[in-house]
Amino acid sequence: MHILILGATGRVGSHIAAHALKDRHHVTALVRHPEKIRAHDRNLTVIQGDVLNQGDIVRAIHGVDVVISALNTDGTTTLSESMPLIIEAMHNEGIQRIITVGTAGILQSRSFPNVLRYQSSESRRKSTRAAEEQGETLEEAAIREVKEETGLEVELNGIFSVSEAFFEDRSHHTIFFTFRGNIVGGEINISFPEEIEEVTWIEARRAEKYIHIPSELMGLITSKSTAPYILRGTINHNT
């Protein structure tokens, strides 16, 4: 069988591709960054392109039997914008089968390798953007995300800044919490290279640009000022 996999460089798509190749299927992967494909197999064809480009989809879908979409659904419109293009290309090629995957919940737990993610204390995750797991405080989420994304163990020392932004193209209103913290253990380890390219150290003043500190507040990061983080626990308005 000839399979087109969309999202083949992601955590889910890479697993699908590996299993398909292991079962000796022919796999075509349409990816933006071919260098992120780690598999080397004579049955694998890698096409550089974008699922938001109709011409790229038409080029990749020609001659396949089934489409598998493992596109990232994390806070973007990629899935909703690309799916009409995919369906149209399938119709024109006479392809009637498509499988879509919208969550990484069936993967092995990162903390407990012997169980699946939904069976552990983990629930879901949105790509490179931090999110709280079910029942997890904001501070606990920050500590976990640092460990998962860098391999480092940290303790937090209050909130450095709170900022917000409107993403018009996504219709999102986002609030950013930036914590101060100290490294207390671990070592740098990139567990998900398809999501994180590099962990590096930069001078404090340069770091302020990456967290969008306004010019009139430059130098704030070296002042060691913090706002207290207060966990008020669970509140029941019915009591």
Name residues whose C-beta falls within 8 Å of residue 173's C-beta, 6 or more positions apart in sequence. Answer: 164, 165, 166, 167
* Residue 6 exposed, middle or buried by CB count within 10 Å (0-12, 13-18, 19+): buried
Same domain (yes/no): 7, 90: yes
How high is the pLDDT of residue 184? 95
Residue 110 placed within a domain: no
Same domain (yes/no): 20, 71: yes
Specify the residue for token string 């591709």: 17
CA distance 32 to 51: 9
Same domain (yes/no): 143, 62: no
CA 202 to chain centroid, in Å, comes to 23
What is the extent of the structural domain holding 168? 137-222
Copy the structure tokens of residue 85. 């293009």
How high is the pLDDT of residue 155? 94
Residue 215 placed within a domain: yes
Check: pTM over 0.85? Answer yes or no. no
How high is the pLDDT of residue 125? 43
Same domain (yes/no): 143, 94: no
How high is the pLDDT of residue 128? 37
Same domain (yes/no): 37, 94: yes
CATH number of domain containing 32? 3.40.50.720
Q: ∠ CA 151-153-159 to the nearest 5 degrees?
A: 120
How high is the pLDDT of residue 16? 92
How high is the pLDDT of residue 123? 46
Torsion over CA: 217, 219, 221, 222 (sign): negative
Phi and psi, residue 233, nearest 5°:
75, -165
CA distance 147 to 194: 17
How high is the pLDDT of residue 131? 47
Q: Considering 73, 100, 127, which residue would you say is the last residue of a domain?
A: 100
CATH number of domain containing 162? 3.90.79.10
How high is the pLDDT of residue 130? 43
How high is the pLDDT of residue 129? 43
Give how many domains the chain has, as a whole number. Answer: 2
Q: pLDDT tens string for the chain (239 positions)?
A: 999 999 998 878 888 999 999 999 999 999 988 988 888 899 999 999 999 999 999 999 999 999 999 987 655 677 788 999 999 999 999 999 999 886 544 555 556 566 555 555 554 443 334 444 456 788 888 898 888 788 899 999 888 888 888 877 666 788 888 898 999 999 988 776 666 778 888 888 788 887 778 888 888 888 878 877 777 776 666 65
On whether the CB atoms of residues 52 and 30 are closer than 8 A, the answer is no
Tell how strand 152-167 and strand 98-100 pair up: unpaired
In 78-228, DSSP assigns E strands to 98-100, 152-167, 172-186
Copy the structure tokens of residue 120. 């552990």
Residue 123 placed within a domain: no
Same domain (yes/no): 89, 160: no
